[in-house]
């Protein structure tokens, strides 16, 4: 039943014209990973590589994310369900507008309802702002667990730094953004198993 509902929703997304982004897209980017995952990772929006392939996190940032997931013992294909706040690429990979996020919100909510994850990893500030207080700075709240989010009873939300940010941060010293992200992902895996 879950798989059928996702397929139906994906077809709806492919035909969506709720905002002007449909005009310039090559592909919608609906999801990757497992429909049975306990962990759902939500990113910002597709980039050029994602628009070409129809899959989230396949470009340089996605490759770096894969390295971190592997180091944390998280299997991308089995342990994660990956989606974005937007299903179409914004021009020049700019930050999504409020209107674009609003147009895609029902699809993301439906994905969450169908998957029923135990944990939602909010990857980057844009994803975080879709669910948590917009005054939060991701650098201050990354790795923290947020519960009792209205409309999402029983789901833990955990923000992490976006891998596109980590592409510009090369240090792996203790306390560096890369070190903190790996520690966050290890904690997320342990939390998902409990």
CA–CA separation, 94 vs 92, rounded Å?
5
pLDDT tens track for 156-185: 999 999 999 999 999 999 999 999 999 999
**Residue from 147, 167, 172, 165 nearest 157 by CA:** 147
Compute the average pLDDT of residues 46-50: 96
Count the alpha carbons within 13 Å of 16 in the hemisphere toward its beta carbon: 26
Which SS3 state, helix, strand or coil, does residue 120 take?
strand
Is the distance from CB of 132 to CB of 149 less than 8 angstroms?
A: yes
Check residue 134 and give its pLDDT: 82
Which domains does the chain carry? 2-193 (3.40.470.10)
Check residue 2 and give its pLDDT: 67
Strands (E), the chain: 32-33, 39-43, 80-84, 119-123, 156-160
pLDDT tens track for 80-111: 999 999 999 999 989 999 999 999 999 999 99
- Mean pLDDT across the chain: 95
pLDDT at position 54 over 70: yes
pLDDT at position 1 over 70: no
CA–CA separation, 73 vs 67, rounded Å?
10
């Amino acid at each position: 039943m879950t798989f059928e509902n996702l397929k139906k929703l994906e077809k709806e997304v492919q035909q969506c014209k709720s905002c002007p982004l449909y005009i310039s897209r090559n592909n919608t980017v609906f999801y990757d990973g497992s429909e049975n995952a306990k962990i759902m990772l939500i990113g910002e929006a597709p980039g050029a590589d994602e628009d070409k392939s129809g899959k989230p996190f396949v470009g340089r940032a996605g490759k770096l994310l894969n390295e971190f997931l592997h180091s944390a013992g998280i299997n991308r294909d089995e342990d994660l369900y990956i989606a974005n706040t937007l299903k179409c690429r914004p021009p020049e990979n700019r930050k999504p507008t409020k209107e674009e996020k609003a147009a895609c919100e029902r699809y993301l909510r439906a994905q969450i309802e169908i998957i029923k994850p135990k944990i939602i990893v909010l990857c980057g500030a844009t994803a975080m702002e879709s669910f948590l207080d917009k005054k939060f700075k991701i650098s201050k709240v990354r790795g923290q667990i947020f519960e009792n989010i209205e409309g999402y009873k029983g789901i833990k939300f955990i923000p992490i730094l976006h891998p596109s940010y980590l592409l510009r941060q090369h240090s792996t010293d203790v306390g560096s953004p890369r070190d903190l992200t790996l520690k966050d992902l290890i904690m997320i895996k342990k939390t998902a198993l409990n």
